[in-house]
Amino acid sequence: MTAVSSRPPAKGTVLNFALSADDIRASVDKIIAEAKATFDAVAAQPKPTFENVIVPLATRENKRGAEYSVITFLQNVSTDKSVRDASTEAEEKLEAFEIESMMREDLYRAVHAVYENKKELEALEDEDRRLVEKLELGFQRSGLALASDKRERLGEIRKRLSELGIKFGRNVNENDGRKTFTREELAGLPDSFFDGRETEVVDGVEKFVVTTKYPDMVPVMELARSEATRQQLAVANEQRCPENVALMQEAIGLRLEAARLLGYKTHAEYVLVEKMAKTPKSVMDFEADLRSKLNALAKRELSEFEESKRADKAAAGEPYEGLFAWDFRYYANQIKERKHKVSNEEVKQYFPMKQVTRGILDVYQKMLNLRFVKVDDAPVWHPDVEMYEVWEAQDGTFVGHFYLDLFPRDAKYNHAAVWPIRPGFAKPDGTHEYPVAAMVANFPKPTPSAPALLTHSDAVTLLHELGHVFHSICSLTKWARFHGTQTEGDFVEAPSQMLENWSWEPSVLRQFAVHHATGEPIPGDLVKRLVAAKNEGAGLFNLRQVFFGLFDMAIHDTADGKVDAKAIYNQLREDVSLFKNGDVDTWGMATFGHMMGGYDAGYYGYLWSEVFSADMYASRFLKDGVDNPKTGMDYRREILRPGGSRDASVSLHRFLGRDPNNKAFLKSIGLDTD
Contact call for residues 373 and 4 (beta carbons, < 8 A)? yes
d(CA 412, CA 251): 24
Question: What is residue 662's three-state secondary structure?
Answer: coil
Burial profile 531-558: b = 16 or more Cβ within 10 angstroms, e = fewer: bebbbbbbbbbbbbbbbbbbbbbbbbbb
Q: Which amino acid, 90? A: A
188: left (phi over 0), alpha (psi -120 to 50) or beta: left
Helix axes 126-141, 55-73, angle to 10 degrees: 70
Question: What is residue 211's three-state secondary structure?
Answer: strand
Burial profile 627-664: b = 16 or more Cβ within 10 angstroms, e = fewer: eeeebbebbbebbbbbbbbbebeebbeebbeeebebeb
Burial category of 43 from C-beta neighbours within 10 Å (exposed 0-12, middle 13-18, buried 19 and up)? middle
Secondary structure string (H, E, C) spanning 449-483: CECCECCHHHHHHHHHHHHHHHHHHHCCCCCHHHC
Of 91, 92, 287, 465, the catalytic one is 465
Contact call for residues 49 and 116 (beta carbons, < 8 A)? no
Task: Count the neighbouring beta carbons within 10 Å of the beta carbon of residue 294.
Answer: 25
According to DSSP, the β-strands at 436-440 and 370-375 are unpaired
Task: Count the neighbouring beta carbons within 10 Å of the beta carbon of residue 205.
Answer: 9
According to DSSP, the β-strands at 178-181 and 370-375 are unpaired
d(CA 60, CA 476): 18
DSSP conformational letter for 658 = S
Burial profile 351-376: b = 16 or more Cβ within 10 angstroms, e = fewer: bbbebbbbbbbbbbbbbbebbbbbbe
66: Cα within 13 Å, side-chain hemisphere: 17
Q: Which amino acid, 213? A: K
State phi, psi for 420 to the nearest 5 degrees.
-80, 90
Through-space distance between the first and last CA atoms of the chain, rounded to whole angstroms: 40
According to DSSP, the β-strands at 370-375 and 5-7 are parallel
DSSP conformational letter for 523 = P
Residue 185: which of 177, 195, 194 has the closest Cα?
Answer: 194
Strand partners, 386: 404
Residue 606: which of 668, 542, 535 has the closest Cα?
Answer: 542
d(CA 608, CA 649): 13
Residue 411: which of 28, 179, 88 has the closest Cα?
Answer: 88
Q: Is 465 a catalytic residue?
A: yes
371: enclosing H helix or E strand: strand 370-375
216: enclosing H helix or E strand: helix 214-223
Residues with a known catalytic role: 465
